[in-house]
Amino acid sequence: MSFSSDIKQELNKTNSLANKENVKFELIGYVISGNTTVIKGKNLRFSTESDYNINRFSKLLSNLDIHHDIDISGKTFNIVTKALDISKLEFLEIRDNAVFLKPEFEDIKASSSKDMQKDTQKNTRLEENMKAFIRGTFMGAGSINNPENSYHLEIAVSNEENLSFLKKQLEDFDIHVKTLITINKFSVYLKEGEEISKLLALIGANKAVMQFEDIRIQKEMRGKVNRIVNCETANLNKTINAAIEQIAAIKKLQKDGRFSKLDDNLKEIAMLRVENPDMSLVELGKLLKEPVGKSGVNYRLKKIVEIANGK
């Protein structure tokens, strides 16, 4: 199974069906998702290839006594409501053959926040309902890449109005999303590992969070190791190239008879370099009769190169 399927399997087992408010909010999330369409101006069709997904949606509808049929077309499962009693989902309305959130739904958080200090329990209940709503949108038309390959989580909804509301709810939970709007697609998406992990935790996919974080840590560690190796390789190449230049300068001085005119300290480091082409400056400095540090060795070798080049 894909990583998305694993998450939806986990969320399908979320034990919140006894809470009618949670059920209603999660169902609203499903209904505004990009996989739900309106047929004949009043009924809904929800389509998915996930059996976990269709099972969850059916449970939510049954919990609220909304009658529906399930059929299979190829690999696609379809749920069609026989007669959507819109009063059971009082925050929804059908306009222009599409499902929209009513203004009352958008106002509930604002009105509740005024009474936050007076009724903490009410605010906590609302927060849980909003988490259920977001869970419903993900179950309805959400997807996530295998984090081994790349970080990308996306949730599609049915129209731009619903997209704006979903974006606001996620940002209220400190999850910063980007939006994608095309002719036939309205979605929020995340590409940052930390933000994706926060969203998975928010909707109750705790097992998936642990798996995602484990993969993320391993990727970061591999990245650090690769950066260290690349840095060491670059430094080694730099050392080798410098040694080649130094040895070439020394041989040039020897060939044209100028080597014998060098100061003794330059002759000494020159011979050590020719005898030890792979040795670091620190190691060369320790081999001198009177040892010097890295900067001292570098100064002498640089001087030899300058003399060989006529500077």
Alpha carbon 66 to its chain centroid, in Å, reads 37
Q: What's this model's pTM, rounded to 2 decimal places?
A: 0.70
What are the angstrom distances between the C-alpha of 100 and each of 14, 107, 133, 148, 194? 26, 14, 14, 36, 31
Whether 57 and 81 have beta carbons less than 8 Å apart is answered as no
pLDDT reported for residue 119: 62
User: Whose CA is closest to 243, among 293, 296, 298?
Assistant: 298
Q: Which long-range contacts (CB under 8 A, 24 or more apart) does 277-286 make?
A: 277/243, 277/244, 277/247, 278/240, 278/243, 280/239
Angle between helices 51-63 and 3-12 (to 10 degrees): 30
Two structure tokens written together for 166: 């979903």
Tens-binned pLDDT, residue by residue, of the chain (311 aa): 688 888 888 888 877 788 888 888 999 999 999 888 888 777 888 888 888 888 888 888 888 888 888 888 888 998 888 766 666 777 888 887 788 888 777 666 544 444 444 566 667 788 888 999 999 999 999 999 988 888 899 999 988 999 999 999 999 999 999 988 888 889 999 999 889 999 999 999 889 889 888 888 888 787 777 787 788 777 777 888 888 888 888 888 888 888 888 888 888 888 888 888 888 888 888 988 888 898 988 898 888 888 888 76
Report the chain's C-alpha Rg in angstroms.
Answer: 34
- C-alpha dihedral (154, 159, 161, 164), degrees to nearest 10: 10
Q: Which helix (H) or strand (E) holds 179?
A: strand 178-181
Phi and psi dihedrals of 143, rounded to 5? -150, 155
User: Whose CA is closest to 19, among 65, 86, 76, 64?
Assistant: 64
Q: Which long-range contacts (CB under 8 A, 24 or more apart) does 65-68 make?
A: none
